[in-house]
Structure 1
Amino acid sequence: MGRPAAVLASGAALTVLCGCTVQASGEGQRTPVRIELPSGTPSAKPAPPDDKPSSTPTPPAPAVLWSRGDEGRDIRELQARLRQIAWLFDGPTGTYDDLTEQAVRGFQGKRGLPRTGKTDEVTWQRLLKMTREPGKWDLYLMGGQEADAPDARCLTGRVLCISKSSRTLRWMIDGRTVMTVPVRFGSQYTPTREGVFSVYWKSRHHVSTLYDSPMPYAMFFSGGQAVHYSSDFAATGYAGASHGCVNVRDERAIAEMFAQVRTGDKVVVHW
């Protein structure tokens, strides 16, 4: 009995090592048990976690709305809003010039924005929150507006056709506009008279005896009211008013007009 038992024991050991199925013989047979040996190649270990934080993509730069060289009504609004908060003192001109670029750069730097001098979406939104909607004469503070259609009374003869609606003066001959300039009128306390008049006196170097102020290139049409050059209008635009005269801010243009207008030419002041 000793030898067969040893043979059986060795066989069982060999079976375990070979990974085969072991079955018991005779009655009371049990469910086979399968024993697997580990393979010779170890399973790969999971990669250690990356200690470096994942890189976040750089957000795109805000879109540029306007930059140097751009022109138009939007540039006037930009300049008018910059004037409100004292970053710009000239204009509005409607042209994105070097002064506008410097003003935008200063505004950006003051608020921690990139100092590009270009008006991007972020800069514009910040400016909108700090300013009010500019009115028409804020946008055209220094002139540049279009003239409205001439009054019917201006379509014949030689006429200084002056519109209070568009704040412009057309110098017209036989229905043709020779030149157009922006003009300024009297305040509510000293309004410019409306109607049809004629030039009754011209005075190149006139000085007002009532207000002791210069009135160069004066062309009188109603009492003491005249069309003349105004250095104040040239400096401050529509922020001021006259004492009833029609002010012109373009000295070159009124000098040329003064040379052409004759005593007796018609003057029409209308809405």
Structure 2
Amino acid sequence: MTSPLRKTMVRRLGVLLGAVGLAAPLTVALGGTAQAAGSACTAGTGPYQAKAERFLGRPVDGRQSAADCRAIRDFQLDHGISPAIGYAGPVTWSVMEVVAKQREAGGNPNASGACPTNKGRIACVDLTRQLSWIQDGKKLKFGPVPIRSGRDGYETRTGLKSVYWRSIDHWSTIYKVRMPYSQFFDGGQAFHAIDGSVWSAPGSHGCVNMRRADAKSYWSLLKNGDDVYVYGRKPGT
């Protein structure tokens, strides 16, 4: 006959083992072990090693170290570059170049005066730097924010346009994808949010892709009839 004390100990042991058994799969499901395994830093020296080291503030010697690899991999993970293994290849370097230009823009993205300042409120899209912002005359109202424009063969068309139709929860019947906070300004081309990275290659099918929070802000700031000016040329198109 089992004593009450022994029964209590058995029950507690069972609960403990059950908790341990559940903990392992939850760690994988929540991205612990699985994420680490999926983003292992295994790459050797890439053709843009020295440039990547300089961009990331690492010691510049052009040779891959474990710390270099982790820094490059972390950048790749943050910017949706796949595979994220720490290799300083052409895709990674092209994104670094764009990010560097975006950082340089700071709080004065229209320093060159390329986007018109005589139109009142206007949304500016600089394809070269993959940046957009909203200004009113010479006053910056929002941004600059990173964007992803059209890929090669589907370039976002340049010139002066205006917002003509808005659809807050738009569904593309052509590409079968959601386009939240869509604001169309040139045929089927629109500002809209995407779920993935705005830095990921190769680009959109002509729309100006934005992070959700940025697209939501554009939705609140723009209205039908507001001007949009698109200029420059996306790298690689």
1:82 to 51, 69, 75: 69
Question: Of Structure 1 and Structure 2, which has the larger fraction of its residues in helix?
Answer: 2
Number of residues of Structure 1 aligned to a counterpart in Structure 2 = 164
- 1:226 alignment partner in structure 2: 190
1:266 corresponds to 2:230: no
Whether contact under 8 Å (2:149, 2:209) holds in the other structure is: yes
1:135 corresponds to 2:98: no
- 2:180 alignment partner in structure 1: 216
Distance 1:141 1:213, change over 3 A: farther
Q: What do you get for the CA RMSD once the two structures are aligned?
A: 3.8
- 2:158 alignment partner in structure 1: 194
1:176 corresponds to 2:165: no
Whether contact under 8 Å (1:157, 1:174) holds in the other structure is: yes
Question: Residue type of the partner of 2:153?
Answer: Y
TM-superposed deviation, 1:141: 6.0
Gaps of 5+ in 2: 1-53, 233-237
Identity %: 29
Gaps of 5+ in 1: 1-71, 93-102, 108-126
TM-superposed deviation, 1:139: 5.2
TM-superposed deviation, 1:74: 3.1
Question: Residue type of the partner of 2:215?
Answer: I
- 2:214 alignment partner in structure 1: 253
* 2:216 aligned counterpart, secondary structure: helix
* 1:233 aligned counterpart, secondary structure: coil
Whether contact under 8 Å (2:150, 2:203) holds in the other structure is: yes
- 2:203 alignment partner in structure 1: 241
Greater CA radius of gyration, 1 or 2? 1
Distance 2:170 2:100 in 1: 24
Distance 2:200 2:104 in 1: 15
Distance 1:225 1:159 in 2: 17
Whether contact under 8 Å (1:198, 1:265) holds in the other structure is: yes
TM-score, with length taken from structure 2: 0.57
Higher relative contact order, chain-length normalized (CA < 8 Å, sep 6+): 2
Distance 1:155 1:166 in 2: 22
TM-superposed deviation, 1:178: 1.3
Question: Residue type of the partner of 2:129?
Answer: S
Distance 1:252 1:166 in 2: 20
Distance 2:149 2:186 in 1: 14
